[in-house]
Structures are given as structure tokens and as C-alpha cells.
Amino acid sequence: MADEHAGRVLETIKEFANIGAGHAATALSALLNVELMNDVTSCSILPMAKVSEWLGGPNQVVAGSYTQLCGDLRSGILVVLPQDSAKTLLEHLTKETIELSSLNGIQKSALKEVGNICLCWYLIAVSKMIDIDMIPTPPDATVDLLGAVLDIPLATLGARVDTVIAVHTCFKAVDRDFDGYFLMLPEESTLKLILDRMGEPH
Amino acid sequence: MNTEERVVGIAQMAICHAPSKLSCLGLGSCVAVILCDPGLRLGGMVHVLLPSAPNPCAIEEKYADTGTRKLFKEMLVNGAKKERMWAKLVGGAQMFANMNLYVMDIGKQNALVVRKVLRELGVKIIAEDVEGSRGRSAYFDPATGKILVLTAFAPPRTI
């Protein structure tokens, strides 16, 4: 019984997260002016401590955009793009050759904007679904070691968050693929509220 | 003791004798505090996440104040002599500078607290690679006392 219940809760959260990621893909295809399909390859509910392992180890270089919700819901949201996905995406967007090690002002800004658009459309989709407004703070982006990128969410939310809703999605365009990871780090009360609104007793 | 390379995760602590080695991967605002007794070639590392521990505190290794003290005690338990001991710090970067308004500079705070505690304990800090805006990985070899610091897009440094 307990397993069955846990399975249902996971399904509910998956649906929630998939719809968010789907909207982000639609927004990205508009931004990039290419047709993007996204198939959600996996959604996991992880404890905070397992996140860097799930993403492939703390020592790899990634692009990360982070924002927090202010308002009724309390959560951190992090979009992580692996190094080559970030590079391909930015190259397509700016029509320039990108060196992630030395992004110029406009390229950095483009990276932030990609993160911003992904984050906001994810939030708009899920907030419509549960009919609660989600107000994000302006996001910031960086390219660095994954472990270091995860430090801020861990440090600012670590005491109150233990569950991470992690979605790995692959955006497929005709001639290229991008991998993206959406991590939602809700506080306990927010996670309960989300499940409530999704009609799932917890 | 066998030779091993141990990765010290967030809110973890480890102590080892040469030729074993210790490392912290992907330090952002976290700080790795490294203590070493060169006489014994004994090294210890703690990977702290936040500056100050609440009271009561479940995981001492998570906080700069309690974590540094615990590491110091553990070094003494393992036979280290306070007079010979030195410290090095790595980490404490500010990863998302533009989020400053609502996320204070935790990295800087972490480093400040560690320095303060080490001063109270009477342990000298002989090298630091801290603050800035870049994440770091630190590889510590108690045999030489050297720490290799790697960042995403810069040549490796040794402190």
C-alpha cells in the first residue's frame, strides 16, 4: 500500500514537472527559432545530497541559472545545462563561436536570458496547473564546476529542504540535441501544498 | 594505513596519514579547512557549508565554527601537536553575485568564521585560496602539505 501511494505521488510530481519542462521547451524553440521536441527522459525525486551524483559528479563544468521564489511558495529553482549543450545553444543564439571559459558581456547576458526563459516558463506552467502564483526573483547564471553551482541552493535552502524534484529533458531539434536539467527545491510546506493542489493526499 | 584518495563531501570530515590523500570537489561558497601536522604527515579536511551552527546542532561538520573545532579536536586525538599544526583554506567563492540582495555572501562569511575560530584555537593559517567568483576543487597531499587547486577555466595552482 505504502509503495502504491509513493508511486502515485511520484507520478503526480512527474506530471507536474514534465508540464513545466514542456513549456520551457516551447519557449526555447521560439527564442531559437527552431522546432524543438522534448521528451522527458527521466524525473526523479532525490534527497539534496544525491543531486550532484545524479547530474554526473561535482567536478564537471556546467552552466547554471538559479532563482528563488518569493511569496506564498518557497522554493529554489535551478536550470543546469551541460557544457556542450550550453555551448551549442549559445552558438545558435548568438551566431558566434562560443568559448565558455571567456564569455563576453553579451554572451553572458544571452546565457542568463536562456536560463531566465526556461525558469519562467517552467514556473508559469506549473503555477497555472495548481492555481497559485509563483513569483521568481531575477535569476543569475554562471558557468562553473557543478558542485560549486549547487552550493548556493544548498546553503540557502539546505536547512529547510530535503527533497529535490529533478527532471532531465532532452530537447531535440532537427540537427542537434540539448540536454537540460530542471531542479526544483521546494520547502517541505510548499511540496505539501503542491501535492494538495494536484489532488493527491500525502 | 592503506593508501587511498578520499573525497570529502559537503558536511563531511576526514583525517588521514600520508601517503593517503584527501580532496574536496566543486567548492563554491563552501570552504575546505585543511589542517596538517607535518611532523606526523597527518592531514585533516572538513568541508563546511554555512558559517554558524544553530544550537543544538545535528551535524557539526556542516558549519564553519563547529566543523573547524571538531577537525582540530580530531587532529589532537590522532596525535597531532598544536605547535606544529598549520591550516590552509580553499573555497568561499560568491557563485551568484547578482543575487546578493537576498543571498548574502555566504562564501566570505564562511572564510571569516573559519579564520576567527582558528585564531581562537591558536592555529596559524599559512595559505589561502579563497573568495572570488570561481568554484574550486582541492586535492591535498599530507606527505608534502601541498594543495592542488583546480578551477573551471584557469591553470591549476598549488598552495
Q: How far apart are CA A154 and CA B6, in angstroms?
A: 22
Q: What is the separation of C-alpha B43 from the centre of its chain, rounded to a whole number of angstroms?
A: 11
- Record the cell numbers describing residue A189, joined without a space: 510546506
Are B150 and B104 in contact by the 8 Å Cβ rule? The answer is no
Closest CA to B130 of B155, B115, B113, B108: B108
The whole-number pLDDT of residue B31 equals 94
Active site residue B57: no
Domain that holds residue B71: 7-158
CB-closest option in B9, B49, B95 to A148:
B95
In this prediction, residue A1 has a pLDDT band, given cuts at 50, 70 and 90, of very low
Residues of B in contact with A68 (CB under 8 A): 99, 102-103
Under an 8 A CB cutoff, do A137 and B102 touch? yes
Judge whether B99 lies within some domain. Answer: yes
**What digits encode the pLDDT tens for the residues A29-86?**
788 777 777 666 678 888 877 888 888 888 899 999 988 888 778 888 888 999 888 8
Query: Which residue out of B25, B50, B105 would a mutagenesis test of the A interface target, given it has the greatest number of A Cβ atoms within 10 Å?
Result: B25
* Count of structural domains within chain B: 1
Q: How many angstroms separate the CA of residue B90 from the nearest CA in chain A?
A: 12
CATH number at residue B106: 3.30.1330.200
- Cα separations (Å) of B48 from B9, B67, B128? 9, 7, 15
**Cβ atoms within 10 Å of A3's Cβ, excluding its own:** 7
**Going by DSSP bridges, is the β-strand pair A163-172/A177-186 parallel, antiparallel, or unpaired?**
antiparallel
SS3 assignment, position B149: strand
Is B27 within 8 Å of A147 when comparing Cβ atoms? yes
pLDDT tens figures, A192-202: 888 888 776 65
Return the bridge partners of B5, or none.
B21
- Give me the pLDDT at residue A159, please: 64
Nearest chain A alpha carbon to B27: A148
Q: Which of B9, B10, B96 is nearest residue A152 as measured by Cβ atoms?
A: B96
Among candidate residues A165, A153, A66, A174, the one with its CA nearest the CA of residue B10? A153
Write out pLDDT tens, residues A96-125: 888 888 888 888 888 888 888 888 888 888
Whether B109 is in a domain gets the answer yes
CB contact under 8 A, A138 and B136: no
DSSP bridge partners of B125: B87
Chain A residues touching residue B54 (CB < 8 angstroms): 159
- Whether B48 is in a domain gets the answer yes
pTM for the model stands at: 0.84
B153 and A102 within 8 Å at the Cβ level: the answer is yes
Cα separation, A80 vs A146, in Å, equals 9
Domain annotation covers residue B1: no
Please tell me the distance in Å from B79's CA to the nearest CA on chain A: 32
B116 burial via Cβ count (<10 Å: 0-12, 13-18, 19+): middle
Its CATH architecture, for the domain A2-197, is 3-Layer(aba) Sandwich (3.40)
Residue B128 resides in a domain: yes
- What's the gap between Cα B131 and its chain centre? 13
- Three-state secondary structure string covering A112-152: HHHHHHHHHHHHHHHHHHHCCCCEECCCEEEEEEHHHHHHH
Distance from C-alpha of B85 to C-alpha of B40, rounded to nearest angstrom: 10
C-alpha cell at A167: 527532471
DSSP label of B2: -
Query: 3-state class of A67 per DSSP?
Result: strand
Q: How far is B56 from chain A (nearest CA, A)?
A: 13
H-run or E-run covering A37: strand A37-47
Query: Mind listing the pLDDT tens digit for each residue in A142-168?
Result: 899 999 998 888 887 766 667 788 888
B-chain residues near A70 (CB < 8 A): 102
- List the alpha helices (DSSP H) in chain B: 64-77, 106-121
Show contacts of B54-60: CB within 8 Å, 24+ apart.
B54/A159, B59/B11
